[in-house]
Protein backbone atom coordinates (compact mmCIF):
# COMPACT_ATOMS: atom_id res chain seq x y z
CA UNK A 1 0.00 0.00 0.00
CA UNK A 2 2.82 2.37 0.88
CA UNK A 3 4.45 1.74 -2.49
CA UNK A 4 1.12 2.44 -4.28
CA UNK A 5 0.70 5.73 -2.43
CA UNK A 6 4.29 6.72 -3.16
CA UNK A 7 3.80 6.00 -6.86
CA UNK A 8 0.57 7.98 -6.88
CA UNK A 9 2.26 10.92 -5.17
CA UNK A 10 5.09 10.77 -7.64
CA UNK A 11 2.94 10.55 -10.80
CA UNK A 12 -0.23 12.34 -9.68
CA UNK A 13 -3.79 11.26 -10.47
CA UNK A 14 -3.22 11.51 -14.23
CA UNK A 15 -0.30 9.13 -14.32
CA UNK A 16 2.08 11.76 -15.71
CA UNK A 17 5.21 12.36 -13.77
CA UNK A 18 4.68 15.69 -12.09
CA UNK A 19 7.05 15.24 -9.16
CA UNK A 20 10.61 14.26 -9.94
CA UNK A 21 11.55 12.59 -6.71
CA UNK A 22 14.33 10.09 -6.97
CA UNK A 23 14.20 7.11 -4.64
CA UNK A 24 17.46 8.18 -2.97
CA UNK A 25 16.18 11.65 -2.00
CA UNK A 26 12.61 10.67 -1.12
CA UNK A 27 11.98 10.76 2.59
CA UNK A 28 10.33 7.63 3.91
CA UNK A 29 6.59 7.90 4.45
CA UNK A 30 5.24 7.23 7.87
CA UNK A 31 2.10 5.22 8.46
CA UNK A 32 0.26 8.47 9.18
CA UNK A 33 1.48 10.00 5.91
CA UNK A 34 0.37 6.93 4.00
CA UNK A 35 -3.05 6.97 5.68
CA UNK A 36 -3.49 10.70 5.01
CA UNK A 37 -2.55 10.30 1.37
CA UNK A 38 -4.85 7.31 1.02
CA UNK A 39 -7.69 9.35 2.54
CA UNK A 40 -6.92 12.18 0.10
CA UNK A 41 -7.06 9.74 -2.82
CA UNK A 42 -10.36 8.31 -1.58
CA UNK A 43 -11.71 11.86 -1.18
CA UNK A 44 -10.74 12.75 -4.75
CA UNK A 45 -12.34 9.55 -6.04
CA UNK A 46 -15.49 10.22 -4.00
CA UNK A 47 -15.72 13.79 -5.29
CA UNK A 48 -15.34 12.50 -8.84
CA UNK A 49 -18.02 9.87 -8.23
CA UNK A 50 -20.33 12.47 -6.68
CA UNK A 51 -19.89 14.75 -9.71
CA UNK A 52 -20.57 11.86 -12.07
CA UNK A 53 -23.68 10.94 -10.08
CA UNK A 54 -24.88 14.56 -10.20
CA UNK A 55 -24.45 14.61 -13.98
CA UNK A 56 -26.33 11.31 -14.29
CA UNK A 57 -29.05 12.67 -12.01
CA UNK A 58 -29.39 15.78 -14.20
CA UNK A 59 -29.60 13.60 -17.30
CA UNK A 60 -32.23 11.40 -15.66
CA UNK A 61 -34.22 14.46 -14.56
CA UNK A 62 -34.09 15.81 -18.11
CA UNK A 63 -35.19 12.44 -19.49
CA UNK A 64 -38.00 12.21 -16.94
CA UNK A 65 -39.14 15.74 -17.74
CA UNK A 66 -39.07 14.97 -21.47
CA UNK A 67 -41.01 11.75 -20.98
CA UNK A 68 -43.56 13.54 -18.77
CA UNK A 69 -44.05 16.21 -21.44
CA UNK A 70 -44.41 13.54 -24.13
CA UNK A 71 -47.03 11.75 -22.03
CA UNK A 72 -48.96 14.98 -21.48
CA UNK A 73 -48.73 15.77 -25.19
CA UNK A 74 -50.06 12.32 -26.10
CA UNK A 75 -52.95 12.74 -23.64
CA UNK A 76 -53.70 16.12 -25.22
CA UNK A 77 -53.65 14.58 -28.70
CA UNK A 78 -55.98 11.80 -27.56
CA UNK A 79 -58.37 14.33 -26.02
CA UNK A 80 -58.25 16.41 -29.19
CA UNK A 81 -58.92 13.38 -31.37
CA UNK A 82 -61.79 12.34 -29.10
CA UNK A 83 -63.20 15.87 -29.33
CA UNK A 84 -62.89 15.85 -33.11
CA UNK A 85 -64.60 12.47 -33.40
CA UNK A 86 -67.36 13.58 -31.02
CA UNK A 87 -67.86 16.82 -32.97
CA UNK A 88 -67.92 14.97 -36.29
CA UNK A 89 -70.43 12.45 -34.92
CA UNK A 90 -72.56 15.27 -33.52
CA UNK A 91 -72.44 17.11 -36.85
CA UNK A 92 -73.34 13.90 -38.67
CA UNK A 93 -76.25 13.23 -36.31
CA UNK A 94 -77.45 16.82 -36.68
CA UNK A 95 -77.22 16.54 -40.45
CA UNK A 96 -79.13 13.24 -40.42
CA UNK A 97 -81.83 14.73 -38.16
CA UNK A 98 -82.08 17.84 -40.33
CA UNK A 99 -82.37 15.74 -43.48
CA UNK A 100 -84.98 13.48 -41.90
CA UNK A 101 -86.96 16.49 -40.68
CA UNK A 102 -86.68 18.12 -44.09
CA UNK A 103 -87.86 14.92 -45.76
CA UNK A 104 -90.70 14.66 -43.26
CA UNK A 105 -91.68 18.28 -43.85
CA UNK A 106 -91.53 17.73 -47.61
CA UNK A 107 -93.84 14.74 -47.23
CA UNK A 108 -96.26 16.70 -45.03
CA UNK A 109 -96.17 19.64 -47.42
CA UNK A 110 -96.98 17.35 -50.33
CA UNK A 111 -99.88 15.81 -48.41
CA UNK A 112 -101.28 19.25 -47.54
CA UNK A 113 -100.89 20.32 -51.15
CA UNK A 114 -102.73 17.19 -52.32
CA UNK A 115 -105.54 17.80 -49.81
CA UNK A 116 -105.90 21.41 -50.91
CA UNK A 117 -105.97 20.39 -54.56
CA UNK A 118 -108.61 17.76 -53.76
CA UNK A 119 -110.62 20.39 -51.87
CA UNK A 120 -110.45 22.75 -54.80
CA UNK A 121 -111.52 19.96 -57.13
CA UNK A 122 -114.43 19.06 -54.83
CA UNK A 123 -115.40 22.70 -54.52
CA UNK A 124 -115.28 23.12 -58.25
CA UNK A 125 -117.35 19.99 -58.73
CA UNK A 126 -119.81 21.13 -56.06
CA UNK A 127 -119.87 24.57 -57.56
CA UNK A 128 -120.62 23.08 -60.96
CA UNK A 129 -123.46 20.97 -59.52
CA UNK A 130 -124.86 23.99 -57.67
CA UNK A 131 -124.72 26.01 -60.87
CA UNK A 132 -126.52 23.24 -62.75
CA UNK A 133 -129.19 23.02 -60.04
CA UNK A 134 -129.72 26.78 -60.18
CA UNK A 135 -129.98 26.66 -63.95
CA UNK A 136 -132.52 23.86 -63.77
CA UNK A 137 -134.48 25.75 -61.13
CA UNK A 138 -134.47 28.87 -63.29
CA UNK A 139 -135.54 26.86 -66.28
CA UNK A 140 -138.45 25.43 -64.32
CA UNK A 141 -139.42 28.85 -63.08
CA UNK A 142 -139.64 30.31 -66.52
Mean pLDDT of 80-109: 86
104 has pLDDT over 90: no
Instruction: Measure the CA–CA gap between 34 and 42, rounded to whole angstroms.
Output: 12
How much is the pLDDT for 55?
A: 94
User: CA-CA distance, 60 to 41, in Å (whole number)?
Assistant: 28
pTM: 0.41
Amino acid sequence: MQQLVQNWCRTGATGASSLKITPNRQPPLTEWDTGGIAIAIVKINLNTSIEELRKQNEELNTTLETNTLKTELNKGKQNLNTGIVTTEQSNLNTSICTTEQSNLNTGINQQVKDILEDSLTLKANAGGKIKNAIRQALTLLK
